Structure 1
Amino acid sequence: MGIIRQLPPSVINQIAAGEVVERPASVVKELLENAIDAGATRIDVTVERGGKDLIRVADNGKGMSVDDLPLAFTPHATSKLVEAEDLFRIATLGFRGEALAAIAEVSRVRCQSRQTDSAIGHELAIDFGVASPIKEIGGPEGTVIEVRNLFENTPVRRTFLKSDSTEAAHVSDMFARIALAHPTVRLTFRSSGKLVHDLPAVTGVKERIAVFFGQELADSLLWIESQMDPVHLWGYVAHPSQSRSSAKGQFLFVGGRFVRDRSLGHALSEAYRGLLMVGRLPVAFLNLELPPDQVDVNVHPTKVEVRFRDGPRIYSQLLATVRKTFLASDLHSRLQAPPEQGTSATRPLDIPAPTLPVSPISAESTSKFRLEERTPDRQMVSSWFSSGGTPNFQSFPTPGYAGGPTQPEWARNLPQAVPTQNHTQFDEFAAEGVASGSVEAPAPETGSNQEPEAAPPIQARDILPEGLPTRALQVHDSYLIAETNEGMMVIDQHALHERILYEELRDRVRRGAVESQRLLVPEPVDLSAAEAAAVLEHRELLGSLGLEIEPFGGDTVAVTTTPTMLFQVAPDRLLRDLAEHLRSSPLPPTRDAILAELLHMIACKAAVKAGQKLSPEEVAALLERRHLVADSHHCPHGRPTALVFTKSELERQFGRLG
Structure 2
Amino acid sequence: MNTHDPNMRPTIRQLDEASINRIAAGEVVERPASAVKELVENAIDAGARRVSIEIADGGKTLIRVTDDGCGMTADDLPLALSRHATSKIDGSDLLDIRSFGFRGEALPSLGAVARLMLQSRAKGFDAVELSVEGGRMGALRPCALNGGTVVALRDLFYATPARLKFLRSDRAEMQAIGDTVKRLAMAEPAVGFTLRDVSGGNDRVTFRVEPEQGDLFDALRGRLGRVLGADFTDNAVSIDAEREGFRLTGYAALPTYSRGTAVMQHLFVNGRPVRDKMLIGALRGAYQDFLSRERHPAVALFVDCDPHKVDVNVHPAKSEVRFRDPGVVRGLVVTALRHALANAGHRASSTVAEATLGAMRPEPTGPRIYQMDRPSLGARQMAYGMQAPAPDYQPVPPYQPKPTGFADLGGSYSGRVVEPEATPETTPETPREDYAQRPLGAARGQVHENYIIAQTEDGVVIVDQHAAHERLVYEKLKRQMAENGVAAQALLIPDVVDLSVDDAGRLLAVAEDLTKMGLTIEPFGAGAIAVRETPAILGEVDSQGLIRDILDELDDHGETALVQEKIEAILSRVACHGSIRSGRVMRAEEMNALLREMEATPHSGQCNHGRPTYVELKLSDIERLFGRT
Matched, 1:209 2:224: yes
Query: Which of 303, 313, 325 is equivalent to 1:298?
Result: 313
Name the CA distance, whole Å, in 2 between partners of 1:321 and 1:75. Answer: 42
Cα distance, 1:77 vs structure 2: 1.7
- Residue 189 of structure 1 aligns with an amino acid whose one-letter code is L
Report matched runs for 1:420-499 at 5 Å: 470-499=442-471
Match of 1:76 in 2: 84
Match of 2:536 in 1: 543
8 Å CA contact 1:335, 1:644 repeated in 2: no
- Closer, same or farther: CA 29–398 of 1 in aligned 2, 3 Å: farther
Report matched runs for 1:20-59 at 5 Å: 20-59=28-67
Cα distance, 1:614 vs structure 2: 5.0
Matched, 1:589 2:561: yes
Name the CA distance, whole Å, in 1 between partners of 2:154 and 2:603. Answer: 55
TM superposition score normalised by structure 2: 0.72
Matched, 1:255 2:270: yes
Report matched runs for 1:137-536 at 5 Å: 137-192=143-198, 193-203=203-213, 204-228=219-243, 230-329=245-344, 331-334=347-350, 355-356=359-360, 358=362, 394-396=415-417, 470-512=442-484
- Residue 341 of structure 2 aligns with an amino acid whose one-letter code is F
What runs of 5+ residues in structure 1 fail to find an aligned partner? Answer: 339-350, 365-384, 403-462, 516-534, 552-578
- Closer, same or farther: CA 44–12 of 1 in aligned 2, 3 Å: same
8 Å CA contact 1:489, 1:644 repeated in 2: yes
- Residue 358 of structure 1 aligns with an amino acid whose one-letter code is P
Name the CA distance, whole Å, in 2 between partners of 1:28 and 1:177. Answer: 12
Name the CA distance, whole Å, in 2 between partners of 1:391 and 1:99. Answer: 78
Name the CA distance, whole Å, in 1 between partners of 2:483 and 2:456. Answer: 34
- Closer, same or farther: CA 88–265 of 1 in aligned 2, 3 Å: same
Name the CA distance, whole Å, in 2 between partners of 1:4 and 1:115. Answer: 44
SS in 1 for 2:30: coil
Aligned pairs, how many? 509
- Residue 63 of structure 2 aligns with an amino acid whose one-letter code is I
- Residue 151 of structure 1 aligns with an amino acid whose one-letter code is F
- Closer, same or farther: CA 400–100 of 1 in aligned 2, 3 Å: farther
Query: Which of 57, 80, 93 is equivalent to 2:100?
Result: 93
Cα distance, 1:482 vs structure 2: 2.0
Name the CA distance, whole Å, in 2 between partners of 1:174 and 1:394. Answer: 55
Name the CA distance, whole Å, in 1 between partners of 2:153 and 2:308. Answer: 34
Match of 1:575 in 2: none
Name the CA distance, whole Å, in 2 between partners of 1:292 and 1:358. Answer: 57
SS in 2 for 1:88: coil
8 Å CA contact 2:119, 2:129 repeated in 1: yes
Name the CA distance, whole Å, in 1 between partners of 2:153 and 2:413. Answer: 69
Match of 2:137 in 1: 131
What runs of 5+ residues in structure 2 fail to find an aligned partner? Answer: 1-8, 214-218, 369-405, 424-434, 488-517, 521-530, 555-559
- Closer, same or farther: CA 473–464 of 1 in aligned 2, 3 Å: closer
- Residue 54 of structure 2 aligns with an amino acid whose one-letter code is T
Superposed CA offset, 1:451-494 (max 9, x none): xxxxxxxxxxxx79988855442211221112234532211121
Cα distance, 1:164 vs structure 2: 0.8
RMSD between aligned alpha carbons? 4.0
8 Å CA contact 2:443, 2:452 repeated in 1: no
Match of 1:639 in 2: 611
8 Å CA contact 1:46, 1:190 repeated in 2: yes
Name the CA distance, whole Å, in 2 between partners of 1:393 and 1:27. Answer: 67
Name the CA distance, whole Å, in 1 between partners of 2:597 and 2:421. Answer: 12
Cα distance, 1:89 vs structure 2: 0.5
Match of 1:528 in 2: none
SS in 2 for 1:281: coil
8 Å CA contact 1:244, 1:282 repeated in 2: yes
- Closer, same or farther: CA 333–481 of 1 in aligned 2, 3 Å: farther
TM superposition score normalised by structure 1: 0.69
Superposed CA offset, 1:506-552 (max 9, x none): 3333444999xxxxxxxxxxxxxxxxxxx99999655247xx6699x
- Residue 332 of structure 1 aligns with an amino acid whose one-letter code is A
Q: Greater shift after overlay, 483-492 or 99-108?
A: 483-492
Name the CA distance, whole Å, in 2 between partners of 1:358 and 1:391. Answer: 30
- Closer, same or farther: CA 69–328 of 1 in aligned 2, 3 Å: same
Name the CA distance, whole Å, in 1 between partners of 2:417 and 2:446. Answer: 9
- Closer, same or farther: CA 628–40 of 1 in aligned 2, 3 Å: closer
Match of 2:374 in 1: none
Name the CA distance, whole Å, in 1 between partners of 2:414 and 2:288. Answer: 34
Name the CA distance, whole Å, in 2 between partners of 1:550 and 1:251. Answer: 38
8 Å CA contact 2:438, 2:456 repeated in 1: no
Cα distance, 1:655 vs structure 2: 6.6
Name the CA distance, whole Å, in 2 between partners of 1:550 and 1:271. Answer: 25
Name the CA distance, whole Å, in 2 between partners of 1:75 and 1:353. Answer: 59
- Residue 543 of structure 1 aligns with an amino acid whose one-letter code is A
SS in 1 for 2:255: coil
Query: Which of 92, 103, 114 is equivalent to 2:110?
Result: 103
Cα distance, 1:111 vs structure 2: 0.8
Query: Which of 5, 10, 23 is equivalent to 1:15?
Result: 23
- Closer, same or farther: CA 20–215 of 1 in aligned 2, 3 Å: same
- Closer, same or farther: CA 15–393 of 1 in aligned 2, 3 Å: farther
- Residue 94 of structure 2 aligns with an amino acid whose one-letter code is L
Query: Which of 583, 589, 604 is equivalent to 2:576?
Result: 604
- Closer, same or farther: CA 504–2 of 1 in aligned 2, 3 Å: closer
Cα distance, 1:396 vs structure 2: 4.7
Name the CA distance, whole Å, in 2 between partners of 1:602 and 1:617. Answer: 25
8 Å CA contact 1:240, 1:331 repeated in 2: no
SS in 2 for 1:167: helix
- Closer, same or farther: CA 496–15 of 1 in aligned 2, 3 Å: same
- Closer, same or farther: CA 400–629 of 1 in aligned 2, 3 Å: farther
- Residue 53 of structure 1 aligns with an amino acid whose one-letter code is T
Superposed CA offset, 1:405-425 (max 9, x none): xxxxxxxxxxxxxxxxxxxxx
Cα distance, 1:362 vs structure 2: 14
Name the CA distance, whole Å, in 1 between partners of 2:587 and 2:135. Answer: 82
- Closer, same or farther: CA 20–641 of 1 in aligned 2, 3 Å: same
Cα distance, 1:257 vs structure 2: 1.2
- Residue 446 of structure 2 aligns with an amino acid whose one-letter code is Q
Match of 1:630 in 2: 602
- Residue 21 of structure 1 aligns with an amino acid whose one-letter code is V
Match of 1:115 in 2: 122
8 Å CA contact 1:392, 1:477 repeated in 2: no
Name the CA distance, whole Å, in 2 between partners of 1:102 and 1:618. Answer: 70
- Residue 183 of structure 1 aligns with an amino acid whose one-letter code is P
Name the CA distance, whole Å, in 2 between partners of 1:468 and 1:242. Answer: 20
- Closer, same or farther: CA 540–644 of 1 in aligned 2, 3 Å: farther
